[in-house]
Amino acid sequence: MSPTAIITGITGQDGSYLTELLVSKGYVVHGIVRQTGVLTPPRLAHLIREPEIYGSQLFLHYADLNDAMAIRRIVHQVAPDEFYHLAGQSHVGLSFEIPESTCELTAMGTLRILEILRELENPPRMLHASSREIFGTPPYIPQTENTPFDPSTPYGCAKSFATQLVKTYRDAQGLFCCNAICYNHESPRRGENFVTRKITIAAARIAAGLQEKVGLGDLAAARDWGFAGDYVEAMWRMLQQETPSDFVLATGESHSVTDWLDIAFSRAGLRWEDHVETDNSMFRSTDPCMLLGNPQKAESELDWKRTVGFEELVDLMFDADQERVCQELEKTS
């Protein structure tokens, strides 16, 4: 029989890559989708269009993360082997604007899922997509699975709560549940309000003559940026281990916003200095520095290695945005 998985957050960047991975491995995938009125979630459209996949290997169910009754019903119907909990409000900057709903979704949503799974006679293996935001501004680099939590944003506080709960349900309740402590991971499917996509879209549009300038905040800000497709592979490997454990998923390399600008704009044949303006609203009151993850445990225990390097990542995101811009132009001409 095919293994069965439930994914929360299936319409997001990671959810869509994970769905592709699981479908390619023969899983039946059930996605939990928030009711937004969008009939065909854009990141899943290519799978929904496939009659051999949608309705036979991929199913969507509507439920909000605060609707325990609906989630419980889906879990009972599907009886999954694996449960990937990826949903949540994941924009750090935005979590200062909407702290209550961020905590409700990210923290309490995880608690509800753990409680629902705990009640089952045969609980599925569960993966929680945690975040390096739990470390705040960490005391040392690189960070590991043992770095203490010290979050400095509402999103980080909510993720710390959820991450600790996962450990607690593993240790105290015996659930097979794990935290993937993910550093930033990007792709052509990244939301457009993240700095990486904002830069690659701007470079593509400026090169096509559709805009002149882009407003950005702190150009010196640095992150450990990897490719989302690589991170979902590690998530899957985590649930295939004999014992549940937490893993840092990172590249071990730090790059600045300026590095993104250099690569994306030079691929577009432009100088970013001619097009970037300062947007003061994009500066954060607290922004963690020293964010660098150590992927050693994942590399040795999961036999996982990223396949896309930094420059290649910027290039592939720019190329995808350039293609989209060309298609838009063709449609309007």
Question: Residues interacting with ligand GDP, by CB under 6 A?
Answer: 92-93, 184, 193-196, 198, 216-218, 221, 223, 257, 282, 284, 287
| Rounded distance between C-alpha atoms, residue 151 and residue 133, angstroms | 6
Q: Which is nearer to ligand GDP, 3 or 191 (CB)?
A: 191
Closest approach of Cβ 186 to ligand GDP, in Å? 8
The identity of residue 117, as a single letter, is L
- Nearer Cβ to ligand GDP, position 146 or 280? 280
Q: How far apart are the first and last CA of the chain?
A: 50
Phi-psi region of 222 (alpha: psi -120 to 50; beta: other; left: phi over 0): beta
The least CB distance from residue 253 to ligand GDP, in Å, is 15
Encoded amino acid at 328, one letter: E
Residue nearer to ligand GDP on the CB measure, 86 or 221: 221
- Secondary structure letter of residue 183 according to DSSP: P
CA pair distance 154, 137, nearest whole angstrom: 14
Quick one: DSSP state of residue 314? H
DSSP string, 100-137: HHHHIIIIIHHHHHHHHHHTSSSPPEEEEEEEGGGGSS
C-alpha span between 193 and 95 (Å, rounded): 13
Position with the least CB separation from ligand GDP: 221
Query: Shortest Cβ distance from residue 17 to ligand GDP (Å)?
Result: 17
Pick 82 or 133: Cβ nearer ligand GDP: 133
Residue 207 backbone zone (phi > 0: left; psi -120 to 50: alpha; other: beta): alpha
The dihedrals phi and psi of 218, each to the nearest 5 degrees, come to: -70, 110
Which residue, 234, 197, 229, 230, is CA-closest to 216? 197
Residues with a catalytic annotation lie at 131, 133, 155
Choose between 164 and 258: whose C-beta lies nearer to ligand GDP.
Answer: 258
Q: Which residue's CB is nearer to ligand GDP, number 36 or number 280?
A: 280
Nearest approach, Cβ of 304 to ligand GDP (angstroms)? Answer: 22
Q: Find out whether 113 and 66 touch, Cβ atoms under 8 Å.
A: no
What φ, ψ does residue 50 adopt, rounded to 5°? -85, 110
As measured in angstroms, the least distance from the Cβ of 97 to ligand GDP is: 13
Closest CB 249 distance from ligand GDP, rounded Å: 14
